[in-house]
Amino acid sequence: IVFLYFKRLLKGLLRLGRVQGRNFSQLAQYLWNICFNATAMLFLTLYRILLMRPADASDKYFPQYNNVIFASTCDAGKFEVITLVLVAFEVVTAVLHLSKCDYSEAFSNALYGALLMSCLWLRLETYSVQLNFHVAMYRTFRELLLLCSSQMDAAAHTHLTFVVTVTICTWCYLFLNLLPFEFLIPTLNARKDHFPLKVWFWLWYCSCIWNSPLLKLLYHKIYHTYPYDCAGGASAVRCILSDDWQRFRHFRNLEHAFCELKLHLSKENVHSTHTNDSANAQATAFQTIKCVVALKRKLKRLRENRELQHPKDE
């Protein structure tokens, strides 16, 4: 409900700024994600400082039972409210991705929501708060970059390349440097009763790898051999930044259907031409046969008349 009101308010403001209508939904999505993640990052920072018990930094990389991220919750009620709000945001984001037919991103959001629910079930307050803080910080930065790239001209290849480079660097810092050492390795060494946490974290982490800009770049280099195959055309930069694959597939299907219709009509024209030629040939043959039959009848009459004249002469 909050998202719908935010979108309506933003549309009114964008109309005053004479922004094109086709950009309303995209800009609203970017700004909504930026506002929510920035607010979540600020709130989680204050929550960790004011409401959570102080953590001993020396226990940071201790394995298994002494790791500080597996500390239990201080206030179960507040932690439950925070988790439900974050899970609701993931559900809304997953639905928006499904509406765009972006199933991999929707699946990733669903897995992250399940991970947060497992943290709530296991009462892992420190784990959930720290993980959400890092993810919210990354998402805020990523959405800002996407918002900037959406306002750039497609011809500004240098600026888009810079945006993609920064995006890849931030993703690598979070998913290849921070999360593996801060969360992944400690989660693997967690107790057996944290098995659901291990499963959901691994699934979510693999989905993030699958949706990574590095994998998008590799996929573009391997499979997008023609500009017709990619929403970004022949540019790998625009391919990574593009999130309008639904519209691209729609127009590509329309173009394909138009080409098929054009080919079908050309075949119909050729077939009709052949049909007309065959009909003309049949008509000509019929007329020829009629002429031959009429000529034979005339010759037969002439022969009969000649035979009748010969007896009279005799």
DSSP string over 97-166: HHHTT-HHHHHHHHHHHHHHHHHHHHT-HHHHHHHHHHHHHHHHHHHHHHHHHHTS-TT-HHHHHHHHHH
The three-class DSSP label of residue 298 is: helix
For residue 113, the Cα-to-chain-centroid distance in whole angstroms is 19
Would you say the C-alpha torsion 103, 104, 105, 111 has a positive or negative sign? Answer: positive
Question: How large is the C-alpha radius of gyration of the chain?
Answer: 37
Enter the pTM of the model. 0.72
pLDDT classification of 131: cutoffs 50, 70, 90:
very high
Q: What is the pLDDT of residue 27?
A: 79
Note the pLDDT tens digit of each residue in 158-200.
888 888 889 899 999 999 999 988 888 888 887 777 888 899 9
User: Locate tokens 């039972």: which residue?
Assistant: 65
DSSP 234: T
Is pLDDT of 31 > 50? yes
* Cβ-Cβ contacts under 8 Å for 11 (sequence gap 6 or more): 24, 28
DSSP 21: G
Write the DSSP assignment of 28-95 as a string of letters.
HHHHHHHHHHHHHHHHHHHHHHHTSPPPPGGGTT--GGG-GGGPPPS-HHHHHHHHHHHHHHHHHHHH
Q: Please state, for a pLDDT cut of 70, what percent of the chain lies above it.
A: 57
Q: Please answer whether residues 90 and 109 qualify as being in contact, where contact means their C-beta atoms are separated by less than 8 angstroms.
A: yes
Q: What is the pLDDT of residue 281?
A: 60
pLDDT classification of 311: cutoffs 50, 70, 90:
very low
* Cβ-Cβ contacts under 8 Å for 253 (sequence gap 6 or more): none
Which of 76 and 74 is assigned the larger pLDDT?
Answer: 76
pLDDT classification of 290: cutoffs 50, 70, 90:
low
Q: Please answer whether residues 177 and 132 qualify as being in contact, where contact means their C-beta atoms are separated by less than 8 angstroms.
A: no
pLDDT classification of 62: cutoffs 50, 70, 90:
very low
Comparing 20-29, 37-46, 169-178, 189-198, the range with the smallest average pLDDT is: 20-29
Is pLDDT of 137 > 90? yes
Q: What is the pLDDT of residue 273?
A: 53
